[in-house]
């Protein structure tokens, strides 16, 4: 972030020096008109030198030598203005150009280079005072510069300075306004990142605790069952031990799979491609139906696509897998009919999913917390508490939204809206 700020500031400073130099060339060109008209070759020479100096500054600026170009430009222009003041005469008001030059110093020289900055700031001030008050014996007013000509030059220079000074002042104000805006944006980004860091640290603490518990529990159970099975001679009892071991290992496998999904969702970039919703839902339902406990659950699928749906196939599958699995897992065994309804609609702008079931529902007190990492609404559940957290995170990464409606012992409905990235 700091490197980006520095690059932005240097770019703005470089742009200003470019504009200043172009404007300076134009001003010098206009100031040379009276020289040519009155054939005052001494001051015309300085106008030409000024144009060449501005061109030299443009060249240094283009080669990104702007660390030194500022001080060089200020020093050269200050000395040139001093000599021009003495040659052209006091009535020409050449010394007025020290005003825009002094105003421009903060843009020519970075304040962090303090000694260079203060040198560049004092130089035009000191030489400007010297130009007005101190004589230079070695330089005399050009014999071609009569008082009448000096007055004409004075009017031209006054007008040019009147135009040039506000322009430079505006550039200075605009430059520091942009820097302040950038600083404010950086501070906001820093606050956001600090909050994100606190959140990640909290999640990491919960993750480590749950990981150690949920990994160790099935392993400890399997070890205990193995020890019991060693001395067991009853085949029926041995079979029950193996069934319990299988259930524990399946829970462990499910937890490991969710941890892998969490890691992949957190780090993998969004990969956009066409998504076949029917194929994904059919595969999920077919897999879940293999469980004897879910054989009697009725599943209805309603898909209405106006156009093809483009998104991240992996994340869409993770979202649907978790939500449909939950609809199956938390069916109400006391009800004669268990239903799961899956609805999908899409158009060019967005896709809309709805997963509804008439299962045990979610108590209202827990509905705001179900998307938190490792939160379990039911203490007797065999879930990991990661599923809905991963769902919410995946939807956020796809710039989507998810809402929950549920009534305990009646129904649960998850509604999801995700942008269709068909034109991205």
- Concatenating the DSSP letter of every residue in 85-149 gives HHHH-GGG-GGGGHHHHHHHHHHHS-TTSHHHHHHHHHHHHHHHHHHHH---TT----TT--HHH
Q: What is the pLDDT of residues 69-124, one digit of tens each?
A: 777 778 878 887 887 788 777 788 888 888 888 888 887 777 777 888 888 888 88
Which contacts (CB < 8 Å, 24+ apart) does range 211-214 have? 211/259, 214/252, 214/255, 214/384
Q: What is the pLDDT of residues 387-408, one digit of tens each?
A: 888 899 889 999 999 999 999 9
Q: What is the pLDDT of residues 124-183, one digit of tens each?
A: 888 888 887 777 666 667 777 778 878 887 888 888 888 878 887 887 788 778 778 878
CA distance 328 to 278: 18
Query: DSSP label at 423?
Result: T
The arithmetic mean of pLDDT across residues 8-28, rounded, is 74
Which contacts (CB < 8 Å, 24+ apart) does range 29-34 have? 30/156, 30/160, 31/156, 31/157, 31/160, 33/156, 34/149, 34/152, 34/153, 34/156
145 in Cβ contact with 89 (< 8 Å): yes
Domains and CATH numbers, the chain: 2-185 (no CATH), 269-419 (3.30.565.10)
Q: What is the pTM of this model?
A: 0.52
Q: How far apart are the first and last CA of the chain?
A: 28
Q: How many residues does the chain have?
A: 424
CA distance 96 to 395: 63
The arithmetic mean of pLDDT across residues 221-242, rounded, is 80
Name the 3-class secondary structure at 278. helix
CA distance 402 to 370: 12
Q: Can you read off the two tokens belonging to residue 313?
A: 């196939």
**Count of Cβ atoms closer than 10 Å to residue 387 Cβ:** 23
What pLDDT is attached to residue 2? Answer: 47
DSSP-assigned beta bridge partners for residue 297: 338
């Amino acid at each position: 972030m700091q490197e980006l700020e520095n690059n932005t500031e240097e770019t703005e400073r470089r742009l200003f020096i470019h504009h200043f130099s172009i404007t300076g060339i134009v001003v010098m060109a206009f100031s040379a008109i009276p020289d040519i008209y009155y054939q005052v070759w001494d001051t015309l020479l300085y106008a030409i030198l000024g144009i060449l100096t501005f061109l030299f500054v443009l060249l240094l600026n283009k080669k990104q030598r702007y660390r030194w170009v500022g001080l060089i430009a200020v020093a050269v222009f200050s000395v040139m203005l001093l000599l021009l003041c003495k040659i052209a005469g006091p009535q020409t008001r050449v010394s007025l150009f020290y005003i825009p030059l002094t105003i421009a110093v903060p843009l020519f020289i970075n304040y962090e280079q303090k000694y260079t900055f203060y040198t560049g700031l004092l130089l035009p001030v000191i030489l400007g005072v010297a130009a007005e008050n101190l004589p230079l014996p070695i330089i005399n007013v050009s014999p071609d510069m009569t008082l009448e000509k000096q007055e004409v030059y004075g009017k031209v220079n006054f007008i040019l300075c009147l135009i040039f000074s506000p322009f430079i002042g505006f550039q200075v104000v605009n430059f520091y306004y942009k820097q302040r805006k950038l600083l404010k944006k950086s501070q906001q980004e820093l606050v956001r990142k600090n909050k994100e860091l606190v959140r990640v640290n909290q999640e990491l603490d919960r993750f480590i605790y749950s990981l150690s518990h949920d990994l160790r529990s099935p392993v400890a159970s399997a070890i205990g069952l193995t020890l019991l099975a060693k001395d067991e001679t009853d085949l029926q009892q041995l079979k029950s031990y193996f069934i319990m071991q299988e259930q524990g290992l399946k829970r462990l496998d499910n937890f490991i799979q969710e941890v892998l999904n969490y890691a992949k969702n957190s780090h993998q970039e969004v990969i956009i491609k066409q998504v076949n919703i029917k194929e994904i839902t059919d595969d999920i339902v077919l897999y879940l139906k293999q469980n004897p406990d879910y054989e009697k659950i009725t599943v209805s699928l309603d898909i209405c696509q106006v156009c093809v749906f483009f998104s991240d196939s992996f994340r869409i599958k993770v979202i649907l897998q978790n939500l449909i699995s939950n609809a199956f897992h938390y069916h109400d065994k006391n009800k004669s009919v268990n239903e799961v309804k899956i609805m999908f609609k899409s158009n060019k702008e967005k896709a809309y999913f709805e997963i509804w079931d008439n299962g045990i529902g979610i108590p209202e007190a827990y509905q705001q917390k179900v998307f938190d990492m490792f939160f379990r609404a039911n203490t007797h559940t065999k879930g990991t508490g990661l599923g809905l957290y991963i769902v919410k995170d995946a939807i956020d990464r796809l710039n989507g939204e998810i809402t929950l409606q549920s009534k305990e012992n009646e129904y649960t409905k998850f509604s999801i809206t995700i942008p269709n990235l068909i034109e991205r």
